[in-house]
Amino acid sequence: MPLVDLDRFDFLYATRVKGMKSAVTRDLMATLSRPGIISLAGGFPDTKAFGEEAFREISQAIAPDAAQALQYGPTAGLESIKDVIVEVMAAEGTPARQEDVFVTTGAQQGLDLIAKVFLDEGDAVLCEGPTYAGALNAFAAYRPKIAHAPMDRAGIIPVAARETLMRARKQGIHVKFIYTVPNFQNPTGVTMVAERRKELLGLAREFDLIIVEDNPYGMLRFEGEPLPSLAALEQEEGDVDRVVYLGTFSKIFAPGVRLGWVHAQPGILHKINVGKQGADLCSSNLSQMMISSYFRNADWKSYVKRLNGMYRERRDAMLDALAEFMPKEVHWTHPEGGLFVWATLPSYLDATAMLPRAVAKNVAYVPGEGFYAGGAGKNHMRLNFSFVEPDKIRRGVEILAETIRERMELRSDMERGSRQGRSQKGAARSGSRASGAGR
Amino acid sequence: MPLVDLDRFDFLYATRVKGMKSAVTRDLMATLSRPGIISLAGGFPDTKAFGEEAFREISQAIAPDAAQALQYGPTAGLESIKDVIVEVMAAEGTPARQEDVFVTTGAQQGLDLIAKVFLDEGDAVLCEGPTYAGALNAFAAYRPKIAHAPMDRAGIIPVAARETLMRARKQGIHVKFIYTVPNFQNPTGVTMVAERRKELLGLAREFDLIIVEDNPYGMLRFEGEPLPSLAALEQEEGDVDRVVYLGTFSKIFAPGVRLGWVHAQPGILHKINVGKQGADLCSSNLSQMMISSYFRNADWKSYVKRLNGMYRERRDAMLDALAEFMPKEVHWTHPEGGLFVWATLPSYLDATAMLPRAVAKNVAYVPGEGFYAGGAGKNHMRLNFSFVEPDKIRRGVEILAETIRERMELRSDMERGSRQGRSQKGAARSGSRASGAGR
């Protein structure tokens, strides 16, 4: 085999590859599975909780239908799993009809297909700032502009979102949809309050656009009351269903089966169907049947409850450790559910630059930069608490706090140094001036 | 819920959706699973052959690793399955290195990702004519021009391919890659002869482009000698590896696990990796681990041999029935493997228009139109022989032959009618002339 020049075919690639970048979490994946490392980086649920025995049961239950499990399935998914999805959505408080459900290869594929169906180059998407990095990756292939509207503790700020939409309209930029993760957002852990959900729907009506509601974590609530989904609110109030709702089995069952869904009105689902045919023909029958079997025969709600108990304990461990170890200049969110805490460092710190140092100390996190389209977010870090046991979370946060403190000290040393330098230079300058004056 | 206007959001869709169309096979899927129907339409392997017991064994074998099977995996795939892929490629005569293998959600995703990575709007792809409809669907989302080069029994015709490439060059159209299914092509069942494989590689070198070699059926050979893959030839002769090879477990194991792969040089795989992150993050660990377990512990080559024995019998049943029942004006290919026979009807017949009539008689096939980008192929049909037992194939072909004969008779009745009509008109005209003359 001849030696390979890595860039030999650079001239052949599509323009879009320039805008597509690899996610830090994905690049870190090999590192993260290194023994001894405490990874607060991934967005991994704890699949050990499911158990070998339960796995044996569901795979044995579908064995009599092996021929179907191993066969191609319908593009939109098997009827049996659509029934399960309707049940899950009902449990989340969103009424759904089986025929408005479309099965995807993880909710990630839903993001790709929505972007494929709606985005021409130069169209825009309004996202929370920060937003899910994987959504930015999916969208990037279709070359849209990304407009971030800022968030606070109550979610995206509607006034800011409206200003952004107005500005886009004036500039002749077509915003095709608003993308939001309303519950325990990735990366911030923030939940959008009910009033803002209504305001966001109002904006969508005013500007006649779609809302893509990505809700992977909605059922992972440890405290507080569940809020109505935008999809549910829209069904109550809207003249037409303008919410495209994305769900997934990754967090309430398992990501390894790669199964999610889109709930939307038929016209949109028809376009998504055609997109899915080109993308991967259909989702795995095997995965669909294992999930159907499990959700029909097992007490899935108890399992989610068990997960929530576990994640709550881990979140508490993280919040406690943050309070105990972090310098007072560091701030963080207090999520009522989900997988993530978002930490904000002093603005002069660069979490991306700091990562290798943390990894060398056997702790990983995701730097904030990847959650913004435009290079903002450098002084943030996303911390995952779902995958690691409480004592390791504690130890991990302690090490992180050390690393941050080192950097802060380095900075104040440098500042002192530079002040000294400046005063020395100042002295030298006055000296030279003095000497000049002495001429 | 308000009444839904299907076209309410038409103004929001991307331009590309206009070029994306639904595959006949996918649209027919509900019809095809109707009891009593003889479907020669799908591209389905016979997954009943695998067996419930074998399914139980492989799922039990991975149960101890359930936590991993249910978790997210690396974007490029698990190491264990890449080892299996290297072994399968070696069995097909193509040396491969583990690090040049990238796991995809079916080979269909490979097609989508290659198109995503290489095609800007207006770029071109050179395909066989006819070509795999699913490839056209995947490519369509990126809005390329499709140039078909005609085939004969020995595969794509290199002289014609070269002319097409020259013409594109003159017109300033950038052909990014040649797409080919060299073995038992979908839809024709034709295999490209060895000499032409070399000529096609020569063309790729001359025009400095990539060849995408899609080889789902290579191991399904019932007679004749295996030919070297383009990837293998390129490794022997090429200065740089310009073949992107697509493989799949769909035909040698099962499509229901949705697992395929891309083998290419690292620079290309890197771009594909980034594309895959946006598309679906990673392929199913569950599927990968079931396959790894099976290929390591079972005699997969015997299973493929068994499949080939079964498919050979079915192909023979189809060829025999075609010879027995079809009108002499109908022609068809004689595949040495794979899943499909391609039938050519008299040029005045429209297989698309004829389909509802055939389905009413409980037989389905795929009309040829979908295998061309530009509306050609109407008088062809793709007939699948892998999924249906020999006696049903025989009965299905008999019914199809009846349907075709009906159409041919209708046509000759109409021709007679129109000749009569013409002669009557002629007579009337002469009459009127006569009467005119009598005036």
pLDDT digits (tens, 9 = 90+) for A397-435: 999 999 999 999 988 888 887 777 666 554 444 444 333
Residue with more model confidence, B109 or B20: B109
Alpha-carbon distance A192 to A201, whole Å?
12
- Indicate whether A328 and A285 sit together in one domain: no
Q: What is the CATH number of the domain that holds A342?
A: 3.90.1150.10
- Indicate whether A256 and A276 sit together in one domain: yes
- Indicate whether B58 and B73 sit together in one domain: yes
CB contact under 8 A, A256 and B71: yes
Which residues 189-248 of B have a C-beta within 8 angstroms of A? 209-210, 235, 238-242
Alpha-carbon distance B400 to B235, whole Å?
45
Residue B90 has pLDDT above 80, yes or no: yes
CB contact under 8 A, B256 and A284: yes
Q: How far is B83 from chain A (nearest CA, A)?
A: 17
Provide the domain limits for residue A320.
Answer: 11-50+301-412
Q: How far is A316 from chain B (nearest CA, A)?
A: 24
- Selecting from A75, A242, A284 the residue whose C-beta is nearest the C-beta of B257 gives A284
- Indicate whether B217 and B361 sit together in one domain: no
Please identify, among B247, B279, B299, the residue that sits at the C-terminal boundary of a domain. Answer: B299
Residue B419 has pLDDT above 80, yes or no: no
Residue A8's pLDDT band (cuts 50, 70, 90) = confident
Radius of gyration of chain A (CA): 25
* Helix or strand run (H / E) with residue A384: strand A380-384
Q: What is the pLDDT of residue B238?
A: 75
Exposed, middle or buried: residue B27 (CB in 10 Å: 0-12, 13-18, 19+)?
Answer: middle
User: pLDDT tens for residues A275-308?
Assistant: 999 999 999 999 999 999 999 999 999 999 999 9
**Which amino acid, one-letter code, is at B400?**
L
Which residues of chain B have a CB within 8 Å of the CB of A16? 116, 120
The mean per-residue pLDDT over the stretch A70-84 comes to 96
Cβ pairs bridging A and B (under 8 Å): 302
Q: What is the pLDDT of residue A6?
A: 55
Q: Does A63 touch chain B (CB under 8 A)?
A: yes
B159 within domain boundaries: yes
- Indicate whether A264 and A391 sit together in one domain: no
B417 within domain boundaries: no
Check if the beta carbon of residue A197 is closer than 8 Å to that of residue A231.
Answer: no
Q: What is the pLDDT of residue A419?
A: 73
Neighbours of B228 (CB within 10 A): 17
Please identify, among A298, A333, A367, the residue that sits at the C-terminal boundary of a domain. Answer: A298
A152 within domain boundaries: yes
Closest residue, chain A, to B140 (C-alpha): A278
- Quick one: angle between helices A133-140 and B266-280, nearest 10? 120
Closest residue, chain B, to A266 (C-alpha): B6
Q: How many domains, in total, are found in chain B?
A: 2
Helix, strand, or coil (residue B261): strand
Q: A129: which DSSP letter? A: E
Residue B431's pLDDT band (cuts 50, 70, 90) = very low
Q: Which residues, at least 6 apart from B117, have a Cβ–Cβ distance to it below 8 Å?
A: A13, A14, A17, B268, B271, B272, B275
Residue B435 has pLDDT above 70, yes or no: no
- Indicate whether B247 and B336 sit together in one domain: no
Q: Which residues, at least 6 apart from B312, have a Cβ–Cβ distance to it below 8 Å?
A: B222, B223
Q: Tell me which residue of A285, A278, A275 sits closest to A116, measured CA to CA.
A: A275
Q: Does A128 touch chain B (CB under 8 A)?
A: no
Closest residue, chain B, to A105 (C-alpha): B280
Q: What is the pLDDT of residue A30?
A: 74
B98 within domain boundaries: yes
Residue A374 has pLDDT above 50, yes or no: yes
CB contact under 8 A, A266 and B59: no
Q: What is the pLDDT of residue A250?
A: 96
Q: Does B173 touch chain A (CB under 8 A)?
A: no
Q: Tell me which residue of A193, A183, A200, A213 sits closest to A335, measured CA to CA.
A: A183
Closest residue, chain B, to A269 (C-alpha): B6
Alpha-carbon distance A420 to A424, whole Å?
6
CB contact under 8 A, A287 and B287: yes
Q: Does A64 touch chain B (CB under 8 A)?
A: yes
Q: Does B1 touch chain A (CB under 8 A)?
A: yes
Q: What is the CATH number of the domain that holds A91?
A: 3.40.640.10
Label residue A224 left, alpha or beta by phi (over 0 means left) and psi (-120 to 50 means alpha). left
Alpha-carbon distance B240 to B243, whole Å?
9
Question: Average pLDDT of chain A?
Answer: 92
Residue B87 has pLDDT above 90, yes or no: yes
Q: Which residues, at least 6 apart from B430, have a Cβ–Cβ distance to it below 8 Å?
A: none
A55 within domain boundaries: no
Check if the beta carbon of residue B193 is closer than 8 Å to that of residue B228.
Answer: no
Alpha-carbon distance A322 to B304, whole Å?
57
Q: Does B125 touch chain A (CB under 8 A)?
A: no
Q: Does B348 touch chain A (CB under 8 A)?
A: no
Residue A238's pLDDT band (cuts 50, 70, 90) = confident
Which residues of chain A have a CB within 8 Å of the CB of B284? 256-258, 284, 287
B154 within domain boundaries: yes
Residue with more model confidence, B241 or A396: A396
Which residues of chain B have a CB within 8 Å of the CB of A258? 105, 280-284
- Indicate whether B142 and B274 sit together in one domain: yes
Chain B contact probe: residue of A111, A257, A258, A269 with most B CBs at under 10 A: A258
Q: Which is it for the CA torsion B202, B204, B210, B212, positive or negative? A: negative
Q: What is the pLDDT of residue A405?
A: 97
Q: Tell me which residue of B45, B110, B137 sits closest to B340, measured CA to CA.
A: B45
Report the length, in residues, of chain A. Answer: 439
Residue A121 has pLDDT above 70, yes or no: yes
B422 within domain boundaries: no
Which residues of chain B have a CB within 8 Å of the CB of A118? 12-14
Q: Does A273 touch chain B (CB under 8 A)?
A: yes
The mean per-residue pLDDT over the stretch B361-370 comes to 95
The mean per-residue pLDDT over the stretch A171-192 comes to 98
- Indicate whether A218 and A286 sit together in one domain: yes
Q: Does A433 touch chain B (CB under 8 A)?
A: no
Residue B248 has pLDDT above 70, yes or no: yes
User: pLDDT tens for residues A318-348?
Assistant: 999 999 999 999 999 999 999 999 999 999 9
Residue B152 has pLDDT above 90, yes or no: yes
Exposed, middle or buried: residue B210 (CB in 10 Å: 0-12, 13-18, 19+)?
Answer: buried
- Indicate whether B34 and B86 sit together in one domain: no
Question: Average pLDDT of chain B?
Answer: 92
User: pLDDT tens for residues B154-211?
Assistant: 999 999 999 999 999 999 999 999 999 999 999 999 999 999 999 999 999 999 999 9
Residue A1's pLDDT band (cuts 50, 70, 90) = very low
Q: What is the pLDDT of residue B313?
A: 98
Alpha-carbon distance A157 to A151, whole Å?
5
* Helix or strand run (H / E) with residue B266: helix B266-280
Report the length, in residues, of chain B. Answer: 439
Please identify, among A235, A270, A298, the residue that sits at the C-terminal boundary of a domain. Answer: A298
The mean per-residue pLDDT over the stretch A203-229 comes to 97
Q: What is the pLDDT of residue A425?
A: 55
Lowest mean pLDDT segment, chosen from A18-32, A287-301, A360-374: A18-32
What is the 3-class SS of A46-83, one letter each residue?
Answer: CHHHCCHHHHHHHHHHHHHHHHHHCCCCCCCCCHHHHH
Q: What is the pLDDT of residue A375?
A: 82
Q: Which residues, at least 6 apart from A91, have a Cβ–Cβ distance to it below 8 Å?
A: A219, A301
Q: What percent of chain A has pLDDT over 70?
A: 94
- Indicate whether B310 and B196 sit together in one domain: no
CB contact under 8 A, B59 and A64: no
Check if the beta carbon of residue B218 is closer than 8 Å to that of residue B180.
Answer: no
**Paired strand residues for B293:** none
Residue with more model confidence, A423 or A215: A215
Q: What percent of chain B has pLDDT over 90?
A: 84
Q: What percent of chain A has pLDDT over 90?
A: 84
Q: A178: which DSSP letter? A: E
Q: How far is B386 from chain A (nearest CA, A)?
A: 13
- Indicate whether A346 and A393 sit together in one domain: yes
- Indicate whether A246 and A321 sit together in one domain: no
Helix, strand, or coil (residue B40): coil
Q: What is the pLDDT of residue A432?
A: 40
CB contact under 8 A, B134 and A285: no
- Selecting from A47, A66, A266 the residue whose C-beta is nearest the C-beta of B70 gives A47
Residue B138's pLDDT band (cuts 50, 70, 90) = very high
A427 within domain boundaries: no
